[in-house]
A and B are shown apart, each in its own frame.
Chain A
């Protein structure tokens, strides 16, 4: 193979004496897609920030770009060295146009005035090369997430970057948008760019990766070449042990047959949800699959009263029930885990203790108003042990925890009300492999205890791994149901066929 475009040798980084990276080596060649994997906290982001110039590595290591020692300093250092990073949370200014965003920080001006026309012409060819279906003058606010990602990539190409680092680029994309992104990434590889691709999702790594490098606890565990990339090998490298039963499903799906807990009939909001009915039995885990935008989250919001419905009714354990606010849903025993735990779930500045107890503070209170601090403490301690939440103590702010531990804190809040129905919206999004497996076993145990569980997920292997049957939504309606038979397992193909509408299954 040709000479490496990027070589890192013995790069370390410590914060306050704690090593976040220990002597990591990384070699990346031009024209390859190099997947970087590791649990949260393994050091992927630190490594990236060193490459972008946001962090300065500890003395002793060496970074070479195209064979020459490189010093990457300051926020623009990475770009100057030919490295561009596309973060999970895109860093575009929505109030500016596509062209202005691409030129951000390097605007062309003519006698002090912005040369908008020149800038628009300058980005035209790049947008064309990327197959963009929008104009340089379009406001970024009007673009979809997938389109915004194109703008980010255009920005990198425009800066003539040779190394493109993408951090979980598909998190906010629909399946179609992801496919288009993959095609584009392959095209960029063919054009000779080196792409470092960070992802938690095994299927993406299979589909794209030419090589995989795994980090754990700030150390380099090893690299795999394309022919050696296998899920179990990667998971073992990431976790450092065998994850024998990754998906856990020991509960009996038939246990609650004939005992429906949640029945939703003809739910509609007049926009994204068009007359959906579903039923979940006690002790059953039902999947709700579908493409992004199919209306799954919106349906969940209708059920818990977080959005106004124009039609539909609910039955809880056979009794009609009227739910108009999330508070009423919680009181009735219907708990909803949001897909966006940072924006809609957790209180990042509040302690884990308060976060866990929030829904039951009133129930526990002395004289209706005064906090029962002993009870709260006990409950938080129980949650920490029961769900193995890893944090210094229950008093630390939830915002300081890793994604997986944050998710478990949020889940503890819902479990505190001992829900009859648990609706989980993307329960393992942004959660590392170890915590994922733990969350699956929590779900399984809840089902064993008789909780009716509805799991919304875009991760098909996950849905297939943990659910008893799967409802598939398409364009605001339940397009069909995929069930598991004695000889017919759930398959991704059946679910995708319903989700995309490529095949009609008899109702």
Chain B
């Protein structure tokens, strides 16, 4: 198909020989788009710091923010994989609950208690693969499949504990929920939940940017038909991304279980999928797929956590927190659109 007008009208930096200046400008542009929402996060944090008379940037408070961001970061990492392929996973909150229930139930078995952690993660993986298989093999729309499993898996989560709260005060590996990794004894430590979240981000980055599979994920999201013609096994990529999303939801469930020593199939993880999707969108990942980065997602998750924490520090009432959070999300994405428009095409 002939070139469309937009690209023809574009000034052609490609043809000029003044390459040095062009690449420099391009680098600045790439830096801006890589930084993405980082300035928003910093401005928000500084704002809260001053409004709360310097209570935001304290070691203790930052630890709390990181810990609050941890589970959502893990879910949002999985969601990033899914949204990069142009899909959506609405079922992560329910899968988190079911996995936590499965894990806690397992932890109470005398012989196998120590295996509760893999049990939770594998439960999540299983649900994720079922989602992926339905989408890839039966060609059902992701929104509908995961909307269905949002409800169905929630039911299974309740079933797992006979619709009660399951407690286990002596759950193994409880330290991952409440302990901290000491960096400098007595000075700096970081919650294990945050360590796990950062590891998840790092591994996600490795998969997305340094493996063949990662390129294939971007390719499927960018142009599914072209990916198929280019010999990519689209079905395998789709099952993989929903598998990852499920697996990380399972990990999130384990993190919650270890933190609370308990899980309730009805209440745990309610509407977590919305926070995860919000983090991905705030991170600049395109909703149609093919464009985005895992670092953006991390910043998105931190913005959400900083916002919750900061509004409490400043003393905003619970009701207004909702309103302000919603508006900040819309405003941040609008800002992002504006910024991209200015730098990209005419």
With both beta carbons as reference points, the residue of chain A lying nearest to B231 in the complex is identified as A327
On chain A, the residues within 8 Å of B3 by CB distance are 40, 402-403, 406, 430
Query: Quick one: given A168-B2, A392-B19, A429-B1, are A350 and B229 in contact (CB under 8 Å)?
Result: no
A345 vs chain B, min Cβ distance (A): 6
Contact with B along A321-349 (1 / 0, CB 8 A): 00001111111000010101111111111
Query: Quick one: given A327-B233, A370-B210, are A88 and B1 in contact (CB under 8 Å)?
Result: yes
A399 within 8 Å of B (CB atoms): yes
Task: Choose from A41, A44, A336, A369 the contact partner of B229 (Cβ within 8 Å).
Answer: A336
Q: Are A338 and B9 in contact (CB under 8 A)?
A: no
On chain A, the residues within 8 Å of B213 by CB distance are 369
In angstroms, Cα B1 to Cα A429, docked, is 6
B212 within 8 Å of A (CB atoms): yes
A405 within 8 Å of B (CB atoms): yes
Q: Are A354 and B210 in contact (CB under 8 A)?
A: no
Task: Choose from A15, A401, A413 the contact partner of B14 (Cβ within 8 Å).
Answer: A401
- Give the contacts of B9-34 with A (CB-CB under 8 A): 9-15, 19, 22-23, 26
In angstroms, Cα B215 to Cα A349, docked, is 12
In angstroms, Cα B3 to Cα A44, docked, is 11
On chain B, the residues within 8 Å of A16 by CB distance are 11, 346
On chain A, the residues within 8 Å of B215 by CB distance are 350, 354, 357-358, 361, 371
On chain B, the residues within 8 Å of A168 by CB distance are 2
- Give the contacts of A272-323 with B (CB-CB under 8 A): 304, 306
Q: Are B226 and A44 in contact (CB under 8 A)?
A: no
Q: Are B231 and A325 in contact (CB under 8 A)?
A: yes
With both beta carbons as reference points, the residue of chain B lying nearest to A16 in the complex is identified as B11
For chain A, the bracket of interface size reads: 35 or more
Q: Are B231 and A347 in contact (CB under 8 A)?
A: no
B341 within 8 Å of A (CB atoms): no
On chain B, the residues within 8 Å of A14 by CB distance are 11
On chain B, the residues within 8 Å of A348 by CB distance are 222-223
Contact with A along B216-242 (1 / 0, CB 8 A): 101100110111111111000000000
On chain B, the residues within 8 Å of A48 by CB distance are 5
In angstroms, Cα B11 to Cα A393, docked, is 16
A359 vs chain B, min Cβ distance (A): 6
Q: Are B226 and A345 in contact (CB under 8 A)?
A: yes
B340 vs chain A, min Cβ distance (A): 12
B7 within 8 Å of A (CB atoms): yes
In angstroms, Cα B14 to Cα A423, docked, is 29
B294 vs chain A, min Cβ distance (A): 16
B284 within 8 Å of A (CB atoms): no
Interface centre among B4, B14, B231, B232 (most CB of A within 10 A): B231
Query: Quick one: given A331-B231, A390-B14, A413-B230, are A349 and B5 in contact (CB under 8 Å)?
Result: no
In angstroms, Cα B230 to Cα A336, docked, is 9
Q: Are A400 and B7 in contact (CB under 8 A)?
A: yes
B124 within 8 Å of A (CB atoms): no
In angstroms, Cα B232 to Cα A329, docked, is 12
For chain B, the bracket of interface size reads: 35 or more
Query: Quick one: given A40-B3, A344-B225, A361-B215, are A350 and B9 in contact (CB under 8 Å)?
Result: no
B291 within 8 Å of A (CB atoms): yes
B210 vs chain A, min Cβ distance (A): 6
Q: Are B223 and A346 in contact (CB under 8 A)?
A: yes
B290 within 8 Å of A (CB atoms): yes
In angstroms, Cα B218 to Cα A251, docked, is 39
Q: Are B5 and A49 in contact (CB under 8 A)?
A: yes
On chain B, the residues within 8 Å of A328 by CB distance are 231
Q: Are A349 and B222 in contact (CB under 8 A)?
A: yes
A52 vs chain B, min Cβ distance (A): 10
On chain A, the residues within 8 Å of B317 by CB distance are none
Q: Are A354 and B9 in contact (CB under 8 A)?
A: no
In angstroms, Cα B227 to Cα A336, docked, is 13
Q: Are A41 and B12 in contact (CB under 8 A)?
A: yes
- Give the contacts of A38-55 with B (CB-CB under 8 A): 40-46, 48-49, 55
A389 vs chain B, min Cβ distance (A): 9
On chain A, the residues within 8 Å of B12 by CB distance are 18, 41, 402
B8 within 8 Å of A (CB atoms): yes
Task: Choose from A89, A340, A358, A429 the contact partner of B219 (Cβ within 8 Å).
Answer: A358
B170 within 8 Å of A (CB atoms): no
A183 within 8 Å of B (CB atoms): no
With both beta carbons as reference points, the residue of chain A lying nearest to B228 in the complex is identified as A326
Task: Choose from A88, A326, A396 the contact partner of B231 (Cβ within 8 Å).
Answer: A326
A412 vs chain B, min Cβ distance (A): 13
Q: Are A405 and B14 in contact (CB under 8 A)?
A: yes
Query: Quick one: given A171-B1, A340-B1, A350-B219, are A371 and B229 in contact (CB under 8 Å)?
Result: no
B211 within 8 Å of A (CB atoms): yes
Task: Choose from A171, A350, A399, A400 the contact partner of B2 (Cβ within 8 Å).
Answer: A171
Query: Quick one: given A46-B9, A371-B215, are A200 and B225 in contact (CB under 8 Å)?
Result: no
Contact with B along A176-212 (1 / 0, CB 8 A): 0000000000000000000000001000000000000
Q: Are A347 and B228 in contact (CB under 8 A)?
A: no
Q: Are B1 and A342 in contact (CB under 8 A)?
A: yes
On chain B, the residues within 8 Å of A358 by CB distance are 215, 219, 230, 232
Query: Quick one: given A40-B3, A369-B211, A392-B26, are A344 and B226 in contact (CB under 8 Å)?
Result: yes
- Give the contacts of A5-59 with B (CB-CB under 8 A): 14-18, 20, 40-46, 48-49, 55
A475 within 8 Å of B (CB atoms): no
A365 within 8 Å of B (CB atoms): yes
B27 vs chain A, min Cβ distance (A): 10
A152 vs chain B, min Cβ distance (A): 16
On chain B, the residues within 8 Å of A15 by CB distance are 9-11, 346
A415 within 8 Å of B (CB atoms): no
On chain A, the residues within 8 Å of B227 by CB distance are 347
Q: Are A343 and B11 in contact (CB under 8 A)?
A: no
In angstroms, Cα B229 to Cα A340, docked, is 12
Q: Are B8 and A45 in contact (CB under 8 A)?
A: yes
Contact with B along A346-382 (1 / 0, CB 8 A): 1111100010011101100100011100000000000
Task: Choose from B7, B11, B229 the contact partner of A344 (Cβ within 8 Å).
Answer: B229
On chain A, the residues within 8 Å of B23 by CB distance are 392-393
B binding-site residues for A, Cβ under 8 Å: 1-5, 7-15, 19, 22-23, 26, 210-216, 218-219, 222-223, 225-233, 290-291, 346
25 contacts between A and B (CB under 8 A): A17-B11, A40-B8, A41-B8, A41-B12, A45-B8, A46-B9, A49-B5, A304-B229, A328-B231, A338-B229, A341-B1, A342-B1, A344-B225, A347-B290, A358-B219, A365-B212, A369-B212, A370-B211, A392-B13, A392-B19, A392-B26, A393-B23, A396-B26, A413-B230, A429-B1
Given contacts A338-B229, A343-B223, 6 further A-B contacts (CB under 8 A): A327-B231, A330-B230, A338-B226, A346-B226, A349-B222, A365-B211
A binding-site residues for B, Cβ under 8 Å: 14-18, 20, 40-46, 48-49, 55, 87-89, 167-168, 171, 200, 304, 306, 325-331, 336, 338, 340-350, 354, 357-359, 361-362, 365, 369-371, 390-393, 396, 399-403, 405-406, 413, 429-430
Which 7 pairs, one residue from A and one from B, show the smallest C-beta to C-beta distance?
A: A430-B2, A18-B11, A327-B231, A45-B5, A403-B3, A347-B222, A45-B8
